[in-house]
Amino acid sequence: MVALTAPAKLTLSLRIAGVRDDGYHLIDAEMVSLDLADALEVEPGRGVVVIGRNDIDPGDNLITGALALAGVNARVTVTKRIPPGAGLGGGSADAAAILRWAGYADVRGAAQLGADVPFCLVGGRARVQGIGELVQPLEHIPRTLTLLIPPFGCSTPAVYRRWDEMGGPKGANGNDLEPAALEVEPRLGDYRRALEQATGQVARLAGSGSTWFVEGAYPGEGRIVVGTVPAQPQPS
């Protein structure tokens, strides 16, 4: 049995740089890996077992796709710690952990599993461009952040669609999707205000949501204090 760590990703900033002819949006983002992570155990066999969530179909997840992409078979047990639907890349992190374990290092190829998988495969801190497949590693900067994760998610396609309908607004806090996300899911505003009142800081939305974050450690009810982590070592 091999134990793997699948760090969550946090999108610190996100600008929309354009829209391709096929409708996909081009981004220019800064992403970091967090010490909030899923734990995976890989052993001989087949199948995926998910511990800690009863609303995830083990037969329909990115781990299965990652195993197929890498051309390997394994039995994978996942202990979920990254909240799903929060924009923290839990499924992508799990898939990337499997790709690293399998020795698969094609970042562009990993994009066929999902837009967040390439960054999660590289990890650490990086500038992410294109539709997520262009990942430029940056120097790791240790940071402490506080997250507030609402008990609901945001539909990424719906947020991008609303951004288009709004005429492509620029976000005031470094995230162009923030205005659209607040229109798609107005309840986000309540959580932003709660985090700002508790910390005295300006809260920022992570990607298309639904997680809000601020710099610094502000433990308290409903808040999670996390740290950034460097890139995971690639298998030799």
For the annotated catalytic residues, the residue numbers are 9, 116
What CA–CA distance (Å, rounded) separates 82 from 210?
A: 13
Q: What is the pLDDT along the chain (236 residues), one digit of tens a residue?
A: 999 999 999 999 999 999 988 888 999 999 999 999 999 999 999 999 998 765 555 555 799 999 999 999 999 999 999 988 899 999 999 999 999 999 999 999 999 999 999 999 999 999 999 999 999 999 999 999 999 999 999 999 999 999 999 999 999 899 999 999 999 999 999 999 999 999 999 999 999 999 999 999 999 999 999 999 999 776 65
Q: Where in the chain is the domain with CATH 3.30.70.890?
A: 144-227
pTM of the model: 0.93
97 three-state secondary structure: helix
Residue 59's H or E segment, with its range, is none
Q: Where in the chain is the domain with CATH 3.30.230.10?
A: 2-139
Q: How far is residue 184 CA from its own chain's centroid?
A: 19
The architecture in CATH of the region 144-227 reads: 2-Layer Sandwich (3.30)
Q: Tell me the backbone φ, ψ of residue 222, rounded to 5 degrees.
A: 80, -5
Q: Are 198 and 174 in contact (CB under 8 A)?
A: no
Residue 198's H or E segment, with its range, is helix 188-199
Measured CA to CA in angstroms, residue 137 lies from 6, 7, 115, 175 at distances of 18, 16, 16, 20
The architecture in CATH of the region 2-139 reads: 2-Layer Sandwich (3.30)
